Chain A
Amino acid sequence: MKPTPPKNALKFLRWFCREEYLEEIEGDLVELYEDDYKKSPTRANWKFARNVIKFFRPVFIRSLKKSYHSNHQAIFRHNFLLTYRTFRRYKTSFLVNLIGLSTGMACTLFIYLWVNDELNVDKFYQKDRQLFQVMEHHERSYGIWTSPTTSGLIATTLASEMPEVVYAAATGGPAENISLSAGENYIRANGHYVGKDFFNVFSYHFIHGDKSRMLLDKNAIVISEALAVKLFNTTENLLGQVIEFEREKQFFISGIYKTLPSNASDRFDFALSYELYEEMYPSVLKWGNTGNRVYLILKAGTNTEEFNRKIADYVKVKTNNRITFRKPFIKRYSEKYLYGKYKDGVQAGGRIEYVRLFSIIAIFILVIACINFMNLSTAKASRRIKEVGIKKAVGAGRKSLVFQYLNESLAMAFLSLILAITLVFLLLPQFNEITGKHLLLNFDYSLVVSLLGITLITGLISGSYPALYLSGFKPAPTLKGKINNTIGGLWVREGLVIFQFAISVILILSVLVIYKQIEFIQTKNLGFNRDNIISFKREGKLLESTSLETFLSEVRRQPGVISASSIRHNLAGHTWGVGGFNWEGRDPEDQTEFEVIAVNYDMIETLGIEMLSGRGFAREFGDDWKNLIFNEAAIDLMGLKDPVGKSVDWGFDDRKIIGVAKNFHFESLHENIKPVVIALWQGRTDRLMVRIKAGRELETVKDLQEFYQAFNPGFSFDYKFLDQDYQVQYVAEQRIATLSRYFAGLAILISCLGLSGLTIFDTQRRIKEIGIRKILGLSTFGIVRHLSGDFTKMVLIAIVIALPLSYFVASNWLESFAYRIDLKWWFFAGAGSFALLIAWFTTGIHTVKVARANPAQCLKHE
């Protein structure tokens, strides 16, 4: 048997070597090999390989240009050439496709970036899989309410009693808007009081300081890198330096951590010891207190359901059956961000709904763009039918035709991808502003894979139908000029246009509904007047009761100030809830918490809360902490008749109801109005509110600022309008509103592009028909109507399909609001006619042009 030279070397030689030299070189090498083989087979092998490599030089390497390596390659090149020619030949549809697909892909890419960011929020902690938060279900008279906070005590007891718990840490606070100072510099910052295992639970990266001994001292403070830079302009040599807290207490820096990435849901500037918190607020040492967040690291592989069963009765057991309505449970910390909403004790969506919603929108927009491609390609079919016929006649199989058309759509998709990436790159800053994110176009592995994935899918979806449709023609009839299956093609094309417009109508209606609901939020009478009220923190000298009163009475005397008082609440969300009320006829099982609003004299008047009966707090009556005001919801809950003057038991003290306030919205309009108790409790008020005369805001605020700085030196006058707090509650909705406007606009734009492409094609095809009709006496308007009749029909069908769907979508969204607009019939009529008008306008531009042309021109054209 003849020895055979190494296969791989031979393969390599055949791959690179010029065809005309190959036989000679190969032959010579083999001959040498055979000679060598007789001496030593191994050395012969090596020598053969070495020789092959020595031939790898320009003289022998085949040129890249002329490499008709195989038939496949030749066809590939041929297809590309055809694709290029098709693009050049049908410029309109090329542009329509390019614009449509690239904007569609840009949208998808934006949404991909956003969704990806949302899905990764809080996932960066090292022990993400073991990191849990303790939450609680509270049984209330109106159902189960789920609280993210629990008793701080549970952290220590769980850690010592449950073997599954590796670390547990409670956090208190938050300490918001605290003024921190170092020497001359001071800034306002937000922080937490954290338990000593906090940094074992959450993997912070410390630049300076020993992680394990971070907050062992009550006088220690841990600060973020960003805060250090702001306060000291450096992060070096700061350990042991002193930071002044509210110009009152001193803390020394025991650690500096790297500021968390932007996809952390909880980013704070500094942390203090939880033990200090317990010292400051001893009530947190009681089981009755539920104001703290508790985080756990569980052993890997712990069954959460089992653990939840174990701790379900934990509070009840710990309090000897005194507190029975609270059911603690744990939730993966990183899941809380997306799945944060509970309804009646069951997980019910959260931000994940928006993630899903936008993912669906992204897919739809891409599909709409793909449909344009499909429609235009199949519409062009009649022109390319001869091409298909001839190709088939000379022996092209269906497969190679399919391949050719897919090639065309893939090339289109890749061109669009380049344009889309450019678009995204240019518009990313604006997108970040709208979404409040810090998204970057990082070409890492996952992004590149998804980009290629999106492009391939786009290319395949948009190319598949035309490819199958066009390649399916029978050669003989097509060459004779007969197209027998256009009916089917037309039907699909119409279906696709209907689909596009149905989506557009749904989006139009959604935009309208969101806009109306937001308008409703802005103009809704909240039961108090949030205009022209500024609020600022009670701090420094104002913490003293007498100087607060002096300050307030001075402020009231300022021109431009209508009234001023202090309060503990921002009227934009739940602040402070308590239980423990007892009244005549109370159901002993009822454990409803009341929202507490601690106020000073004049607060009710400053806010403009109306009284239903009784009166507000007044100095003349010598009201004190024993007098309470409830809102209607609270009175309804208690079921009291003629409540004014009745007494209520709170904390084993007898209190008197002196008035009933009309219901007002202290939480967002997502929530029903809950029971509220307003107590005269100046000592607990933590912010001041001042109502300013309308139109005099600027100068009054300036005067107040001067006065404040003189009165309370060392503290800055950081005020906010009450309306700002109110708006913060609807940031998500505002974002959705803006985004949905853009996306709906784009979807409509892309649909219209497709429609206009189809119209152009259709009118060109029917140009002779138009000429003849015109000669026979049809008016310009008649022709326009005739031409747009088909499209009108399609859009009408789309509207009919879309309206019930959009009703469903809109009412679903509105359901998250306890107070919402009604869906009126004219919303639907408006959205429908808007879509119809746009469709008419798009087709009209072309049809009018054609209809006005000289019929002789149309007919002469050959």
Chain B
Amino acid sequence: MVQHSLGEFEELVLLMVAALHDKAYGVLILEKLEEKLGKKINISAIHVALKRMENKGFVKSSYGGITNERGGRRKKFYVVTALGKRMLDDQYALRNSIYRLIPKISFG
């Protein structure tokens, strides 16, 4: 199996999907990310990242029910797959392990 890579922005989106658990959908991810990052993101960027990760198998999606909001259009909810979770764990472990190598001296 090809080792899929995870871009920086994709990783952020994936983290957010994981954090929002089963409530993650396009606009919510956008709003939360904007809140966390403190800058504007375009919705299309979120969608591109989601589609890519869905293709790679990191997330899966399902439609929610029809509501009165959004002109009656269904939301598409994303959840992290096992593969996605492992990817996140790997990334986290990798970063942590390198982080720990930083000598404890002050960076003036």
Contacts and interface: CB of A to CB of B under 8 A. Distances in A.
Contact of A27 (B30, B42, B44, B70): B70
B74 A28 contact: no
A30 B44 contact: no
B76 A24 contact: yes
Nearest to B78: A24
A57 interface: yes
B83 to A, nearest CB: 21
Contacts of B19: none
Contacts of A51: 42-44
B47 A32 contact: no
A30 B42 contact: no
B27 A28 contact: yes
Interface string A379-417: 000000000000000000000000000000000000000
A772 to B, nearest CB: 68
A31 interface: yes
A2 interface: yes
A31 B47 contact: no
B47 A27 contact: no
A2 B26 contact: no
Interface string A1-27: 010100000000000000001011111
A66 interface: no
A280 interface: no
A25 B75 CA distance: 9
Give the bracket for the number of chain A residues in contact with chain B.
Answer: 20 to 34
Give the bracket for the number of chain B residues in contact with chain A.
Answer: 10 to 19
A54 B40 CA distance: 14
A31 B75 CA distance: 10
B51 A31 contact: no
Given A21-B51, A59-B48, A59-B51, A28 B43 contact: yes
Given A2-B71, A51-B42, 17 more contacts: A4-B71, A21-B47, A23-B63, A23-B73, A24-B75, A27-B74, A27-B75, A28-B27, A28-B43, A30-B73, A34-B70, A54-B44, A55-B44, A55-B47, A57-B48, A59-B51, A60-B47
A29 interface: yes
Contact of A29 (B43, B51, B69): B43
A302 to B, nearest CB: 68
Contact of B73 (A2, A4, A27, A57): A27
A54 B41 CA distance: 12
Nearest to A24: B76
Select the residue from A21, A27, A60 with max chain B CB neighbours within 10 A: A27
Contacts of B75: 24, 27
A61 to B, nearest CB: 12
Given A51-B42, A51-B43, A54-B42, A28 B51 contact: no
A32 B30 CA distance: 10
A51 B45 CA distance: 10
Contacts of A55: 44, 47
29 contacts: A4-B71, A23-B63, A24-B25, A24-B26, A24-B76, A25-B26, A26-B71, A26-B73, A27-B26, A27-B71, A27-B74, A27-B76, A28-B26, A28-B43, A30-B71, A31-B70, A32-B27, A32-B30, A34-B70, A51-B43, A54-B43, A55-B44, A55-B47, A57-B44, A57-B48, A59-B47, A59-B51, A59-B52, A60-B44
A26 B27 CA distance: 11
Contacts of B69: 31, 34
Interface in B20-75: 25-27, 30, 42-44, 47-48, 51-52, 63, 69-71, 73-75
Contacts of B51: 21, 59
A32 B43 contact: yes
Nearest to B47: A25
B79 to A, nearest CB: 15
A31 B27 CA distance: 7
Given A23-B73, A55-B47, A28 B42 contact: no
A6 to B, nearest CB: 13
Contacts of B48: 57, 59
A24 B71 CA distance: 12
Nearest to B51: A59
A30 B25 CA distance: 13
B76 to A, nearest CB: 4
Contacts of B42: 51, 54
Contacts of A26: 71, 73
A59 B52 CA distance: 9
Contacts of A24: 25-26, 47, 73-76
Nearest to B76: A24
A48 B47 CA distance: 15
Select the residue from A28, A34, A55, A60 with max chain B CB neighbours within 10 A: A28
Contacts of B25: 24, 28
Given A24-B76, A51-B42, A54-B42, A30 B47 contact: no
Interface string B72-102: 0111100000000000000000000000000
A26 B71 CA distance: 9
Contacts of B73: 23-24, 26-27, 30
Nearest to B55: A59
A27 B63 CA distance: 11
Given A21-B51, A24-B76, A59-B48, A30 B43 contact: no
A644 to B, nearest CB: 110
B96 to A, nearest CB: 33
Contacts of A28: 25-27, 30, 43, 47, 70
B17 to A, nearest CB: 14
B47 to A, nearest CB: 6
Interface in A819-852: none
Contacts of A32: 27, 30, 43
B13 to A, nearest CB: 14
Closest 4 pairs (CB-CB, A-B) = A27-B73, A28-B26, A24-B76, A54-B44
Nearest to A5: B71
Contacts of A31: 27, 69-70
A729 to B, nearest CB: 79
A320 B73 CA distance: 98
Contacts of A27: 26, 70-71, 73-76
Contacts of A34: 69-70
Contacts of B52: 59
Select the residue from A24, A25, A30 with max chain B CB neighbours within 10 A: A24
A59 B27 CA distance: 19
A673 B43 CA distance: 94
Nearest to A50: B42
A30 B67 CA distance: 13
Nearest to A60: B47
B34 to A, nearest CB: 11
A57 B69 CA distance: 27
Nearest to A25: B47
B16 to A, nearest CB: 15
Select the residue from A2, A31, A32 with max chain B CB neighbours within 10 A: A31
Contacts of B71: 2, 4, 26-27, 30
Interface string A226-265: 0000000000000000000000000000000000000000
Contacts of A23: 63, 73-74, 76
Select the residue from B63, B71, B74 with max chain A CB neighbours within 10 A: B71
B41 to A, nearest CB: 11
A182 to B, nearest CB: 76
